Structure 1
Amino acid sequence: MGSVKYDVIVVGELNVDLILNKIDGFPEMGKEKLADQMTLTLGSSSAIFASNLSALGARVAFIGKIGHDQFGQLTLDSLQKKGVSTEFIIQDKNLNTGATIVLNYEEDRAMITHPGAMNHLTIQDISAEQLKQARHLHFSSYFLQPGIKKDVGQLFRMARELGLTTSFDMQWDPEEKWELDAANILPYVDIFLPNRQELVYLTGQVNLKEAVHKLGANINTVVVKLGNEGSHLFDGKTKKEIRLPAFKNEQVVDAIGAGDSFNAGFIFKFIQGAPLEECQRFGNLCGAINTTAAGGTTAFRNFDQVMKIAKERFGYEEK
């Protein structure tokens, strides 16, 4: 493909998370509750993926839409601090940057999201000239982006025609309708990255093999994230299956962004041409490393720091 500026270009949603911890009970109408801890941080699956992939050492750019406001500035600053290029992020003064209020209760949480600008990214905001500057395209959070949803197949097709490899994490559907245009999307996706629950809801099949079969003959590689059970890979070309156990963290801080960190680890190895099993193992590792610190990006400062955690906590060393 000649000389390219970026290893990966990420197209996706951008928002901030306002996280409340140590809350004295559940919200009730007409009453006020107190939270002892509050954190304002970069949210969104796409941004966590981009940040952690960049921290690992890949050259990453982001295409998304935010408002011309303080949350928008926090988003830009946070991505830039992680080394992600924000040159393709559109700031619209008529829109608000999206925000999610997260109420944390031990291992469970309730969330309310104002989508704001993430509703308004469209295929017209993305050009072939931008995509040509990367070797790989990653798209995330299909159901949270109504402005581009119907054109995601076109986006992947355009990337393929330009010679990029591709990956896709559809994420959760808040409406729980699970209407994915799989026939027009998945044939152009090299690595499809659902978690088990999402795949079950999408296909109506509880058995993973049957669920993948239901996706049809046009799939390439499907990697199913299984949380603390690890991951299961189906290679559409060779029909080979690989199941790898999780790296066990006995002291989980939280699991926010663990799936996005899995994706970052997998794609980091994939763009280097590593075998699929090595990509999958490194994905499992990065998912586990994510849980050693609060939030989705704290554990990922740089490659050396990640490898230090890998060795000390999980006994993992690069061969």
Structure 2
Amino acid sequence: MDVVTFGETMVLFTSESPGLMRYAAHFSRKFGGAESNFAIGLARLGHKVGWISRVGDDEFGKAMVSFIAGEGVDVSRVKVDDTAPTGIYFKELRRANDVRVYYYRKHSAASKMKPEDLDEGYIARAKYLHITGITPALSESCYRTVIHGIELAKKHGVKVVFDPNLRKKLWAEETARETLLEISSRADIVLPGIDEAQFMFGQANPELLGERFLERGASLVVLKVGAKGAYYFTENGSQLVPGFPVEQVVDPVGAGDGFAAGFVSGLLDGLSLYEAVQRGNAVGAFATTVSGDVEGLPDRKELEAFLCCENGDVAR
């Protein structure tokens, strides 16, 4: 196994007509969740990845597990909960570059994840454990599951990749700040967006933000700065890796998960940090061009063709 991740995936309903959702009569049904988006992105690039979660004993849960398994992700550690439903959320496409999300996930099956749901041997066999800041916001037991996962990874020498993935709708801001800072200090690699980093540290300068994460214990920080690209920071220095222009952003949701998948894929393939961040930028750009959280994620041939056209040669 290359990577293990865990967290909640929900049924996603998107209005088929633009504008206010109150006027929408028809919705498409898809699936979305930061961790499974990331897992699917890695699987499409040819990596072995496992996703751990809980789903309801309902038709939505069955369809979700089948879909994620069909994308090449190992779902053997997913548990079915007959006491709680699979979570749902709605995506409202009001107009270009104005996408709003509404969650119906309280008391969902995934919010009942607990430390015992994690298979120590399964995590021990991975190279990376990927976690996000969404999971600890779901419940106290989910928070304890995240901490336990980090402890298991550290015990077995598995590197921890942490994407803060801030969701202010899920918890109080001070609790969110304290928890995200705590987890980032335990992670080996941190992948914040510029807005998340500003929220966590209360300052705006990218160089200073990178330094703050390193001071708290991370060995590698990649700070995403939107269309400009992303900076990487290590104790040996930092560099901005330019992003890829997107003529029309159809759906920005899932771009950060795509970035994480592309970047970790680059690490697994032994690319330089610059090239790994470049791959992350490319996959993140791909993700914005299609409606849906994972529908725009590329496979390896698509990615290499894109990088070839953009750079004159395939990035290796």
Q: Give the match for residue 226 of structure 1.
A: 225
5+ residue gaps in structure 2? none
Secondary structure of the corresponding residue to residue 22 of structure 1:
coil
Q: Give the match for residue 241 of structure 2.
A: 244
Name the amino acid aligned to 1:71.
F
> For the structure 1 residues 159 and 26, does the alpha-carbon distance in structure 2 shift closer, same or farther, using more than 3 Å as the test?
closer
> C-alpha separation between the residues in 2 aligned to 1:182 and 1:302?
31
Give 2:4's match in structure 1, choosing from 3, 9, 12: 9
Secondary structure of the corresponding residue to residue 178 of structure 2:
coil
**Residue deviations 1:58-78, cap 9 Å, x none?**
001111111011111121121
Matches within 5 A, 1:19-34: 19-23=14-18, 25=20, 27=22, 33-34=23-24
Q: Give the match for residue 73 of structure 1.
A: 62
**Residue deviations 1:89-136, cap 9 Å, x none?**
111011101111111111212322122122111112113122123221
Give 1:257's match in structure 2, choosing from 230, 254, 259: 254
**Residue deviations 1:179-224, cap 9 Å, x none?**
3346653344221011111111111112223333444342221111
Secondary structure of the corresponding residue to residue 42 of structure 1:
strand
5+ residue gaps in structure 1? 1-5, 28-32
Q: Does 1:145 align with 2:129?
A: no
Q: Give the match for residue 289 of structure 1.
A: 286
Q: Does 1:100 align with 2:74?
A: no
Scaled by the length of structure 1, the TM-score of the pair is 0.88
Q: Give the match for residue 112 of structure 2.
A: 120
> For the structure 1 residues 229 and 126, does the alpha-carbon distance in structure 2 shift closer, same or farther, using more than 3 Å as the test?
same
Secondary structure of the corresponding residue to residue 285 of structure 1:
helix
Number of positions where the alignment pairs a residue of Structure 1 with one of Structure 2 = 306
Secondary structure of the corresponding residue to residue 84 of structure 1:
coil
> C-alpha separation between the residues in 1 aligned to 2:117 and 2:246?
41
> Once the 2 structures are TM-superposed, how far is the Cα of residue 49 of structure 1 from its aligned partner?
0.6
Give 2:193's match in structure 1, choosing from 183, 192, 195: 195
The two structures, once aligned, show a CA RMSD in angstroms of: 2.1
Scaled by the length of structure 2, the TM-score of the pair is 0.89
1:264 and 1:283 in contact (8 A); partners too: yes
> C-alpha separation between the residues in 2 aligned to 1:227 and 1:305?
22
2:16 and 2:24 in contact (8 A); partners too: no
> Once the 2 structures are TM-superposed, how far is the Cα of residue 153 of structure 1 from its aligned partner?
3.4
1:142 and 1:171 in contact (8 A); partners too: no
Is the helix fraction higher in 1 or 2? 2
Greater CA drift, 52-61 or 38-47: 38-47
1:118 and 1:144 in contact (8 A); partners too: no
Q: Does 1:87 align with 2:76?
A: yes
Name the amino acid aligned to 2:77.
F
> C-alpha separation between the residues in 2 aligned to 1:25 and 1:80?
34
2:251 and 2:292 in contact (8 A); partners too: yes
> For the structure 1 residues 222 and 52, does the alpha-carbon distance in structure 2 shift closer, same or farther, using more than 3 Å as the test?
same
Secondary structure of the corresponding residue to residue 250 of structure 1:
coil
1:307 and 1:317 in contact (8 A); partners too: yes
> For the structure 1 residues 161 and 184, does the alpha-carbon distance in structure 2 shift closer, same or farther, using more than 3 Å as the test?
farther
> C-alpha separation between the residues in 2 aligned to 1:112 and 1:314?
38
> C-alpha separation between the residues in 1 aligned to 2:43 and 2:244?
22
Give 1:136's match in structure 2, choosing from 128, 137, 155: 128
Q: Give the match for residue 156 of structure 2.
A: 162
Q: Give the match for residue 3 of structure 1.
A: none
2:210 and 2:223 in contact (8 A); partners too: no
Name the amino acid aligned to 2:259.
F
Q: Percent identity among equivalent residues?
A: 25
> For the structure 1 residues 231 and 13, does the alpha-carbon distance in structure 2 shift closer, same or farther, using more than 3 Å as the test?
same
1:143 and 1:171 in contact (8 A); partners too: no
> Once the 2 structures are TM-superposed, how far is the Cα of residue 315 of structure 1 from its aligned partner?
5.5
> C-alpha separation between the residues in 2 aligned to 1:57 and 1:169?
21
**Residue deviations 1:260-314, cap 9 Å, x none?**
0000000011123322111111111111121232222223353123323444577
